[in-house]
Amino acid sequence: MPFYETVLIARQDLTPAQADGLVETFEKVITDQGGTVPKKESWGLRSRAYKIKKNRKGHYALMNIDATGPAIQEMERQMHLHEDVLRHLVTRVDEFEEGPSAVLRAKERGDDRGRRGDSDAEHHGRYDGGGYPAAVIPT
């Protein structure tokens, strides 16, 4: 059977337990159709760059799925109809990534890269505090 990775975003007002239950619901759809879900990851409540249906944040989850095309189509159909799912993306992959995903690895490291307003130069004292690099301070 082909391999798929699915990422879904659930509404921000759900509890973490409800978001995990939502993933379990879609896992059951896959297993009822003869597929398997070897890995599930909850990425937690994360901020978005823009609002979706008046939600600035969302509960993110990743599922690795080994299933047939009709099983994936049924899961996507149910995700589309479920009111708690804001967005979902299903991608076919050649093989599953071993170990935790890049998002979880970054979370475990405490990686702050990618946050707005933080730059490497600010953390190493090469800024004057007013936003100008030390070499370009107007005199």
In percent, the amount of the chain with pLDDT more than 90 equals: 40
pLDDT score of 80 more than 90: yes
Model confidence pTM above 0.75: no
Average pLDDT, the chain: 80
pLDDT of res. 121:
47
Picking from 112, 122, 55, 114, the residue whose alpha carbon sits closest to that of residue 87 is: 55
Name the burial class of residue 58, with classes exposed (0-12), middle (13-18) and buried (19+) by CB atoms within 10 angstroms of its CB: buried
How far apart CA 5 and CA 65 sit, in angstroms, is 6
pLDDT at residue 122 is higher than 70: no
Nearest to 75 by CA among 15, 38, 1, 22: 22
Query: Where does the pLDDT of residue 88 fall: very low under 50, low under 70, confident under 90, or very high at 90 and above?
Result: very high
Q: Which residue has the higher pLDDT, 38 or 121?
A: 38
